[in-house]
Structure formats: C-alpha cells, structure tokens
Structure 1
C-alpha cells in the first residue's frame, strides 16, 4: 500500500458541500491500495503510521508519534497515488488495485489504525471529494509498504 502523510493542525473532507470528516492536530493520510496488496499490507501501514515520529517533542525535536501526541487521522482514499508517469503525458493507473479490492483495503487500513488507538475520520471511497488542510511544518512523507 502507498500513503502520503501530512502533519496537520487541522483537516477536513467534504462531499457535495457537506463536511463528512474533520480532525484537529494529527495527520492527513491519502492512501492507495496497489496491485497485489493484501490486508497484511494494510495492517503494516497502519502500524507504521501510528508509530512514525514526525511530531515535535518539548525540545522542538521531531521525536513524537501520532499516538504520543493523542492526535487524530483523516484517512482519504486516493487511487491517483498509483500514477505511472513514465511514458507520455497522461498518467496511467493500472498499478492501483481494482476498485472492490481498493475499497476493502482502504477500509481495513482505517479500521486497523483505529484499533491501534488513533481517532480517525474518513472520506468516502470513490466520491468526488474536496480536501482542505493546514500542513504543519510543512511535513509531508511518502510511505510504501
């Protein structure tokens, strides 16, 4: 699975003008299931995300995790993270998992992250969403598991 993490002071996702998910301090997580991914990948990604030390400690060092700070996560599916831009000018998305599998793995990732103790909010799989956030730092990290 692939994820783009952004440390945020706040984030929200809307569908049709209505806010469907919102968090304060924590992480905005764009997530994509790739061809060949399994629930084990979703679990490993959730475990890594929950423990990744990208928040500042009392000394100003980036040394605390999402769990350490009691932060939340806004989890939004984004198949375009699978974009292949190696040929031509139009990205290809054949590396993304098929929609049914992608949805199941997206939901498994969100569930696993919640079970690890991270409060979550989510987008809506397959919907046309509008996402807004305040990137803190800015800190943005790409993960593949």
Structure 2
C-alpha cells in the first residue's frame, strides 16, 4: 500500500463536472492498494496519515500549502490537477531580485531552529480534515520499458473492501466528521488524474 500525502488549504474531487467531496485545511491523500496488502499495511498507513508532523507550530508561519482540485471526466480531455501555493506575494517579488550572495546572507540570518518549527504538528493537532482518494496508478511499475505495469495493483472488486476499511479506521481513530472518502468506483474512471512514482 502506498500513500501520497499533501497538506492543503483546501481540496476537492470533481467527477463529471460534479463536486463529490471537499475539505478545508488538512491533508489530501492518494491511496494505492497492492495485491499483497492486508489490514497490517492499512493500519500502518492510517497511523502515518494521522501522526506525521506536516504542519507548522503557528498559523503565522511562512510555510506554504496549496489548494488542490482533482477532476475526472469521461470525455477525451486530459483532466488537470490544479495546485496554487499560498505564499506571500511580497516575498515572491523579492525572490526574483535575490542574488547568490543575498541568498547566502539571508540563510545565515535565519534562526537555526526555524526548520524545526516548521514540522511540529500533525493533522490531529490542528483538527484538520482529511480527503482520501483511491489512486491505483501509485502501484505502477516503471523500471522496465516505457509503459506502466499495473500488475501490482489490487483489482477493484478486491480492493474496495480494504479501501472502505481504511476509511472506517480513520474515522474511528480520528473523527468521522473530518474524514472524507468517496466510493472507490467513481474515482477510478479511465481518465482519472494519474500519479506515478519513479523508480
């Protein structure tokens, strides 16, 4: 089982131009289920989703998150994943004028502990929401040839039970109201946004 975890300010899933799920600040998690996966692997992923410290210690941190939108359409149009970083505009304008010397000087002036303040809170600590999206392409093999091999991905009818068990476990461990997970079927349409990990 594999999970791609992204912290977001908001995230949504749209199928056939109809929004079926939306969350505010929290995590958007793509889940890939393999042929050998069991409850053991599922419990590990659940623990990581809820325990990883991916958020800063305060809302005023300079850390950036993004707004994520996943769309699927049966029409011959490649769906897009839109991500807009919420960085400070003034800071972005300043970056364009930084020279190598300026960058080194800026790094020296930063507090040594700034990096440690960045990764201090989990999604549970901030009462964030979690959007779970089934993504079988995460299990693709790409080492040989140029065509993704999906033999490691568990078939839909078998993975459905484990996927639903994962959602149930997240809700019981964390909060039923803050966990969003849709049926596996509409999220596995042929033109669903694809994600591959190489190698």
**Which TM-score band applies after superposition, normalised by the shorter structure?**
0.7 to 0.9
Which whole-Å CA distance do the structure 2 matches of 1:83 and 1:61 have between them? 32
Equivalence for 2:137: 80
Larger Rg: 2
Deviations 1:81-104 (A, max 9, x none): 011111111101001112122111
Q: Distance in 2 between matches of 1:96 and 1:87?
A: 17
Offset at 1:121? 1.3
SS in 1 for 2:124: helix
Is 1:114–2:171 an aligned residue pair?
Answer: yes
1:31-46 map, 5 Å: 31-46=31-46
Residue 130 to residue 14, structure 1, CA distance change in 2 (3 Å): farther
Q: How many residues align?
A: 132
Q: Does 1:71 align with 2:123?
A: no
Deviation at 1:130, TM superposition (A): 6.4
> 1:55 maps to which residue?
55
RMSD: 1.9
What's the TM-score, normalizing by structure 1? 0.83
**More relative contact order, 1 or 2 (CA 8 Å, 6+ apart):** 1
Richer in helix (by share): 2
1:123 matched to 2:182? The reply is yes
CA distance in 2: counterparts of 1:130 and 1:9, whole angstroms: 22
Q: Which residue of 2 aligns with 1:136?
A: none
Alpha carbons 1:13, 1:123 under 8 Å: kept: no
Residue 9 of structure 2 is matched in structure 1 by 9
Change (3 A) 1:123 1:107: same
Q: Which ranges in structure 1 are unaligned for 5 or more consecutive residues?
A: 132-141
Deviations along 1:102-140, one digit per CA (max 9) or x if unpaired, are 111111111111111141112331323867xxxxxxxxx
TM-score normalised by length of structure 2? 0.62
Higher strand share: 1
Aligned-partner SS, 1:108: helix
